[in-house]
């Protein structure tokens, strides 16, 4: 895992970052927030963007990508028109044990999809006071560069640095699992 103050986009990848990405590493960046945590991860997937998109938008498969997610269900779909992106309502349940804590969280999200480019997850309700995530896809060589940014503030009073460390620790492994499952299918 390589830490970087600024994560790459296709036009800003340094040679060192490119080598790390192509070796399968996940690049991580954190941003200080008042409460909660904000973490961004970037990884390379050796699949074309359209296929990567199809796999990422099969939300029932997220239980395979993220081991802590035990349920991922689409509740509603609003079809895309030429001027509006596709939107969905998603329900997810996750269980996590961290140090001496064990918790189950549930979340209802509005998911806004910009075909083959971006997925935005916006908090509706659940066991967070705030949650947002953006997943962007860019062509990169023969594959796809995925950038996943997560910002979360749980309802339970947990120090920000613990939340950040938990996400910073889990996200690279989860992203690698995601790539492994997506590429194996």
- Tokens (6 digits) for 86: 């596709």
Largest CA distance in the chain: 50
> What sections of the chain are H helices per DSSP?
15-22, 49-56, 62-65, 160-184
Residue 4: pLDDT band with limits 50, 70, 90: very low
d(CA 3, CA 47): 24
In this prediction, residues 49-54 reach a mean pLDDT of 96
* pLDDT at res. 25: 93
Q: Is residue 18 helix, strand or coil?
A: helix
**pLDDT at position 131 over 50:** yes
- Kind and range of the H or E element at 99? none
Contact assessment for residue 103 and residue 96, using Cβ atoms and an 8 Å cutoff: yes
More confident residue, 180 or 8: 180
What letter would DSSP give residue 155?
A: S
Mean pLDDT of 129-133: 89
What is the C-alpha radius of gyration for the chain, rounded to an integer number of angstroms?
A: 16
pLDDT in tens, 52-97: 999 999 999 999 999 889 999 999 998 766 666 789 999 999 987 7
Give the tokens for residue 15: 């040679």
- Of residues 1 and 99, more confidently modeled: 99
pLDDT in tens, 102-123: 778 899 999 999 999 999 999 9
For the chain, the distance separating the N- and C-terminal CA atoms, rounded to the nearest angstrom, is 25
Residue ranges of domains in the chain = 2-184
| Helices 160-184 and 49-56: angle between axes, nearest 10 degrees | 120
Point out which residues pair with 109 in neighbouring strands. Answer: 90, 123
Output the pLDDT for position 153. Answer: 78
Instruction: Provide the token pair at 88.
Output: 């969905």
- What are the tens digits of pLDDT across the range 20-40? 999 999 998 877 666 667 888
Tell me the percentage of the chain whose pLDDT exceeds 90: 51
Task: Quote the pLDDT of residue 2.
Answer: 40
Chain mean position to CA 45: 14
CATH class of the domain at 2-184: alpha beta
């Amino acid at each position: 895992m390589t830490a970087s103050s600024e994560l790459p986009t296709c036009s800003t990848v340094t040679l060192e970052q490119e080598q790390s990405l192509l070796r399968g590493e996940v690049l991580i960046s954190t941003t200080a927030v008042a409460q909660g945590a904000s973490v961004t991860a970037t990884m390379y997937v050796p699949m074309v963007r359209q296929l990567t998109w199809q796999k990422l938008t099969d939300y029932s498969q997220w239980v395979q990508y993220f081991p802590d997610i035990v349920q991922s269900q689409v509740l509603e779909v609003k079809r895309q028109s030429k001027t509006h992106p596709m939107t969905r309502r998603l329900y997810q349940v996750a269980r996590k044990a961290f140090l001496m804590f064990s918790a189950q969280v549930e979340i209802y999200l509005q998911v806004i999809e910009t075909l083959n480019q971006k997925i935005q997850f916006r908090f509706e309700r659940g066991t967070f006071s705030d949650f947002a995530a953006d997943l962007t896809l860019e062509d990169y060589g023969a594959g796809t560069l995925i950038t996943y940014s997560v910002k979360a503030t749980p309802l339970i009073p947990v120090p920000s640095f613990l939340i950040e460390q938990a996400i910073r620790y889990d996200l690279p492994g989860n992203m690698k699992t995601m790539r492994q499952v997506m590429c194996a299918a």
